[in-house]
Structure 1
Amino acid sequence: MKGIVLAGGRGTRLYPLTVSVSKQLLPIYDKPLIYYPLSVLLLAGIREILIISTPEDLPSYQRLFGDGSRLGIRMEYQVQETPRGLADAFILGESFIGGDDVCLVLGDNLFYGQGLSSMLAKAIRECRGATIFGCPVADPSHFGVVEIDLNGEVRSLEEKPQKPRSRYAVPGLYFYQNDVVKLAKQVRPSPRGELEITAINETYRQQGRLQVAKMGRGMIWLDTGTPQTMLQAGCFVEAVQSKLGLYIACLEEIAWRRGFIGDKELYEAGKRLEMTDYGRYLLRLLQEERPQ
């Protein structure tokens, strides 16, 4: 399976913060925002990843990650000239996807929880078309909403409904079989002129090939689309890291534990950043433990 991080858009809800800087490069406590969705792909064992962004911002991501070899992965990059909706990621990424299945994660989403890795593995293993996630939220009217029946089947999908039929929002993480590319090409622009991901998911639902994985109480999903939610996310990351001494979305640590890189590469990463708490954390990992 291959992975796509969609990091385009203008981030207008964050102006003036994003007038000259891509939203996904803004800090969430001690890391660029894009580290958090990228960590999800690494946790899922995905090692071939495409970042899609604007012509102005893509060089910044290339400087940040290069070809991905420092993390033991392969990174590619694709320009999105104008925002055309989430489904456009599969059209732009067609040659990258090739004959593989694909996971799409939005560049402004943060996921955290004890069972996250096993949930991702199950989503890949059991995907029979498309797998989306359902996360209970206090006000689902700001998100796509999935309605689930007593048997766990998807009854309906709605995009930012005024009167939601469910408390389960659909976060920006999706697993698809390879035919998603063909389906994306068949999507017609919505009234707001975008190729909606909900249209693809609805097609899978009508075909009986859409699964939903419910996120329980032990899982956290944060959408960082506003200054308030960015601040909340930063405070959450700081609290967890300060109290537990364990880092969230530490890409080098995940790559090391997954076996993508070895002790030598982890040490080199730690030495490069030794002047920071982040770098000293990497070096401490080598002193205290080995991959499990």
Structure 2
Amino acid sequence: MTSRKGLLLAGGTGSRLWPITLGISKQLLPLYDKPMIYYPLSVLMLAGIREICIITTPEDQPQFRRLLGDGSQWGLDLHYIIQPRPDGLAQAYLLAEDWLAGAPSAMVLGDNIFHGDGLARLLARADARPHGTVFGYRVRDPERYGVLGFDAAGRVTSITEKPIEPASPFAVTGLYFLDGDAPARARAVRPSNRGELEITSLLEMYLGDGLLEVETLGRGYAWLDTGTHAALLDAGNFVRTLEDRQGMQTGCPEEIAFQQGWIDTPALLAQAARFGKTDYGAYLATLAAPQGGYDQMPPGDIRSDTCL
């Protein structure tokens, strides 16, 4: 287990998904067979993080508490912080400064989906670095994102928010590993023209000081956000296809917790019984069976690497 703490940003208005998010947080919407927030939560769990802070709007926090509780069912310690208004991603570090108490952090956006064999190893590599790591992903429309610029040797030289002329096709994903100085650095971030504390401004500070590493996610990885109606449907279909084809769950907190040793077999079976009338509950029960679960995986295969 790492000493790093996790931040899961689940605030915002979800205005691009109106009217379906007028009455519910975007991160509580179903993504095929699970709430959307299960998927980014699983990313933090794959990184070995057990202390996680959920940052929500005042209106939505009771629903998140009802869904996730205190996290003990997964061997987690969940904390909740209110975001009074969405003033930019870097604001999360200011809101969580006291809770972080100087600890390094990994922040994931609540509408981001990651999938790929070996993901847990990439996360472990990022966790081992002393300062900062972000993840780059090649996209068709980089102008919609924070974009990475590289020199001839492949070193990152710039991070630009929604550029008119992107320096590369590589976008910065919504997953950020930063050291314990992140809140202090975030206090120095000035609002952008959009009136927000941009995460790219914070990352540029680390880059300028030579303290930022970039992991690029190659062809074997998928990074999806769910900011539009079409993207939400595409992500749900992606998860459905994976699960139907492989017969394994994606974004499954119980599975990761069981593999990490954070919950035991009785606890896993209790969760299976809770969801007993669903395919999800039946799947959890197979994980505890001697003839199922990990005994059925090929040698060297780590199931949690493809659990997202």
Aligned to 1:271: 273
Deviations along 1:97-130, one digit per CA (max 9) or x if unpaired, are 112100010000000000110000001112x321
Aligned to 1:48: 51
Aligned to 2:105: 102
Residues of 2 paired with 1:205 and 1:152: CA distance? 14
Secondary structure of the equivalent of 2:173?
coil
Q: 1:256 aligns with which of 255, 258, 280?
A: 258
Secondary structure of the equivalent of 1:104?
strand
1:149 CA displacement: 2.6
Residue pairs, 1:109-258, within 5 angstroms: 109-126=112-129, 128-258=130-260
Secondary structure of the equivalent of 1:283?
helix
Aligned to 2:298: none
Partners of 1:153 and 1:211 within 8 A in 2:
no
Partners of 1:152 and 1:212 within 8 A in 2:
no
Deviations along 1:42-81, one digit per CA (max 9) or x if unpaired, are 0000000000010000111111111110000100000011
Aligned to 1:87: 90
1:150 CA displacement: 4.0
Secondary structure of the equivalent of 2:65?
helix
**1:59 counterpart = 2:50:** no
**Aligned amino acid, residue 216 of structure 2:** K
Q: 1:280 aligns with which of 275, 279, 282?
A: 282
Residues of 2 paired with 1:253 and 1:145: CA distance? 34
**Aligned amino acid, residue 156 of structure 2:** V
**Aligned amino acid, residue 220 of structure 2:** G
Partners of 1:52 and 1:79 within 8 A in 2:
yes
Residues of 1 paired with 2:29 and 2:155: CA distance? 37
Aligned to 2:299: none
Output the aligned Cα RMSD. Answer: 1.1
Aligned to 2:293: 289
Deviations along 1:179-202, one digit per CA (max 9) or x if unpaired, are 011000111111111111111111
**Aligned amino acid, residue 289 of structure 1:** G
Residues of 2 paired with 1:96 and 1:150: CA distance? 41
Aligned to 1:12: 15
Residues of 2 paired with 1:113 and 1:289: CA distance? 19
**Aligned amino acid, residue 103 of structure 1:** A
Residues of 2 paired with 1:28 and 1:7: CA distance? 15
1:290 CA displacement: 4.9
Partners of 1:115 and 1:219 within 8 A in 2:
no
After TM superposition, the score normalised by the length of structure 1 is: 0.98
Deviations along 1:6-52, one digit per CA (max 9) or x if unpaired, are 00000000000000100000011001111110000000000000000
Q: Name structure 1 gaps, 5 residues minimum.
A: none
Residues of 1 paired with 2:157 and 2:61: CA distance? 38
After TM superposition, the score normalised by the length of structure 2 is: 0.93
Partners of 1:224 and 1:230 within 8 A in 2:
yes
**Aligned amino acid, residue 113 of structure 1:** G
Secondary structure of the equivalent of 1:171?
strand
Q: Name structure 2 gaps, 5 residues minimum.
A: 296-301, 303-308
